[in-house]
Amino acid sequence: MARTARLILLLATPMLFAACAKDNITKPGTYTLTGQVRLVGAVRNAARDSIDVQLVENADSVRVYLYQGSTLKDSTRTTSGGYRFGGLSGGPYSVATVLWGDIGDTVSIASVTADMAVDTLVLQSSPTMIGFPNPFQDATAVRFWMPSSSAIEVIAREPSGLTVRSIVQTLAPAGYHEVRWDARDESGTLVPVGPYWILYRTGADYRCRLLVKM
């Protein structure tokens, strides 16, 4: 029995070495990209005075896209403002986020050769539409100017892209307009505290304003 056991061990040893050698073959390197998404607005009082810059660095569920050239490779959503893409081969990539129409941001990476933290993606409020008061509790409003009469749409959305309220859909004349939002969703329920986008569109003119409910 002892000789048989030794014979089995001698026969098995080369097989073990072969298996280990196969496992140790160098595989092509893969890399990870990490980054942040920042939402930018303005703190304003009820008199419309701008008091400070408003930054939201920890928004959840903002959609981020990963491209290699013009090919969409992957997408993910933020957690506390951060995102991660793993298992990437080397080469050029870009990351992008899109809020509304042509409003968004893109960061390009010329060549990924290691794990990298990329520049922050920034979603900036439109200077041609203000929101007040901000932050707000029970209600807030946006003010904008229109150069000509046109059909407009104003909606409230979460950073995730979920529409919580269609506020206005109407034909509006040229001039200044003020649209109020009572901080309620389509069912009439008060929305939770947190950041929201008020989005405006007329034709190809897209605008946005970050507002935070307290």
Which two structure tokens, joined as six digits, stand for 157? Answer: 């959305």
User: In this structure, are 107 and 140 located in the same domain?
Assistant: no
User: In this structure, are 36 and 99 located in the same domain?
Assistant: yes
In a domain, 12, yes or no: no
Using one digit for the tens of pLDDT, what is the confidence trace for 20-33? 434 333 346 799 99
Is the confidence at residue 196, as pLDDT, over 90?
yes
User: In this structure, are 184 and 143 located in the same domain?
Assistant: yes
Which DSSP letter does residue 80 get? T
User: In this structure, are 142 and 117 located in the same domain?
Assistant: no
User: In this structure, are 137 and 85 located in the same domain?
Assistant: no
**124, 149, 165 - which closes a domain:** 124
Q: What is the average per-residue pLDDT within 180-184?
A: 97
User: In this structure, are 136 and 158 located in the same domain?
Assistant: yes
Instruction: Give the SS3 label for residue 39.
Output: strand
User: In this structure, are 90 and 46 located in the same domain?
Assistant: yes
Number of domains in the chain: 2
User: In this structure, are 80 and 145 located in the same domain?
Assistant: no
**Residue of 55, 56, 59, 109 lying closest to 85 (CA atoms):** 109
* pLDDT value for 18: 43
Q: What is the average per-residue pLDDT within 183-202?
A: 97
**108, 124, 140 - which closes a domain:** 124
User: In this structure, are 151 and 189 located in the same domain?
Assistant: yes
Helix ranges (H only) for 129-196 are none
User: In this structure, are 43 and 111 located in the same domain?
Assistant: yes
User: In this structure, are 117 and 45 located in the same domain?
Assistant: yes
CATH of the domain at 120: 2.60.40.10
In a domain, 61, yes or no: yes
% of the chain surpassing 70 pLDDT: 87
Q: What is the average per-residue pLDDT within 101-126?
A: 96
Using one digit for the tens of pLDDT, what is the confidence trace for 43-58? 999 999 999 999 999 9
In a domain, 6, yes or no: no
Using one digit for the tens of pLDDT, what is the confidence trace for 37-95? 999 999 999 999 999 999 999 999 999 999 999 999 999 999 999 999 999 998 999 99
* pLDDT value for 7: 31
User: In this structure, are 117 and 36 located in the same domain?
Assistant: yes
As a three-state string, the secondary structure of 87-142 is EECCEEEEEEEEEECCEEEEEEEEEECCCEECCCEEEECCCCEEEECECECCCEEE
* pLDDT value for 26: 30
Model-wide pTM > 0.75:
yes
In a domain, 49, yes or no: yes
42: domain range? 31-124
In a domain, 94, yes or no: yes
* pLDDT value for 29: 75
**124, 140, 170 - which closes a domain:** 124
In a domain, 136, yes or no: yes
CATH of the domain at 133: 2.60.40.4070
